[in-house]
Amino acid sequence: MQPLSKGRYRARLAATPDDLRASQRLRWLAFVARTGQADDGQALDADALDDDCHHMLIEEAATGALVCSYRFLPLADGSQIARSYSAQFYDLEALGRFEGPMVEMGRFCLHPDCRDPQVIRVAWAALTRFVEETGVEMLFGCSSFIGCEPETHAEAFAMLKERHLAPRRWWPRVKAPKVFRFARALRLRQPDPKQAMAMMPPLLRSYLAMGGWVSDHAVVDPVLKTMHVFTGVEIRAIPPARRRLLNAMLDQPA
């Protein structure tokens, strides 16, 4: 895939060990540093799955400074879903029957000092290009809420319960030892839509805008101090208006 340049930013695939190390360093700053762990300036967030994934880097075009990164794992179809990161935490037997190409998106992170919403747009535009070029039919991954206290995220969880649960044919079931079954616990709670959407993580908001759906429970990660929900998007179900916006990003001049 060729680099994608839009305004101040450039998206490209990692091509060298130094590129991967830069992404792993950014991941550590985004996911681990906020938990209070000491930093010697060399700490990385890395795991065995990195070797199987493509890594997308979004940089400031003028300086080369890395402001966002994510990794993605292409799968031929659902029969390979056990290879995914998500399969460690969710029973994905139902999705094992998905017949088309899939991509797991993970480790999406922004530099802690980055506040420009254009960065996320460029990140999605780059992934959209990959999807279009390779014929991917489903995106999936884990969307994280910062903090392990369910009440902190109750309004958002109530909204997910009310409007965005997975179709029964793809239902992710419980596998992790510690979960919060929000669809059950909040079954009587009616969310305030405006407040709920304000509390959604930016990545999850993007998934939902594309017609995405989630598991009925959140996995609690006490190490990273997060709660995450399984999230899926069937490409053919993306609303036409949203698809036009994504494609427009690809058509805009650099």
* Structure-model confidence comparison of residues 242 and 212, the more confident one: 212
- pLDDT above 60: residue 254: no
175-222: pLDDT as tens digits:
999 999 999 999 999 999 999 999 999 889 999 999 999 999 999 999
Identify the three-state secondary structure at position 138: strand
DSSP run (H or E) holding 71 = strand 66-75
Look at residue 250 in the predicted model and tell me its pLDDT: 66
List phi, psi (to 5°) of 240. -55, -40
- pLDDT above 80: residue 38: no
For 206, residues 6+ apart whose C-beta sits below 8 A from its C-beta are: 120, 124
> Which range, of 65-74, 171-180, 233-242, averages the lowest pLDDT?
233-242
User: What are the structural domains, with CATH classification, of the chain?
Assistant: 4-251 (3.40.630.30)
Triad 118, 121, 123: Cα angle to 5°: 110
Look at residue 198 in the predicted model and tell me its pLDDT: 94
Name residue, tokens 């709670």: 189
Look at residue 251 in the predicted model and tell me its pLDDT: 60
pTM: 0.92
For 74, residues 6+ apart whose C-beta sits below 8 A from its C-beta are: 54, 101, 102, 103, 134, 136
pLDDT > 70 fraction of the chain, expressed in percent and rounded: 98
Confidence of residue 248 (pLDDT cuts 50, 70, 90): confident
Confidence of residue 34 (pLDDT cuts 50, 70, 90): confident
In this structure, are residues 72 and 45 in contact, taking their beta carbons and an 8 Å threshold?
no
Name residue, tokens 């799968």: 75
Identify the three-state secondary structure at position 43: coil
Confidence of residue 241 (pLDDT cuts 50, 70, 90): confident
Identify the three-state secondary structure at position 189: coil
Confidence of residue 246 (pLDDT cuts 50, 70, 90): confident
- pLDDT above 70: residue 253: no
Look at residue 252 in the predicted model and tell me its pLDDT: 58
Confidence of residue 115 (pLDDT cuts 50, 70, 90): confident
- pLDDT above 70: residue 18: yes
Per-residue burial over 72-86, b if 16 or more Cβ lie within 10 Å, else e, is: bbebebbebbeebbb
- pLDDT above 60: residue 12: yes
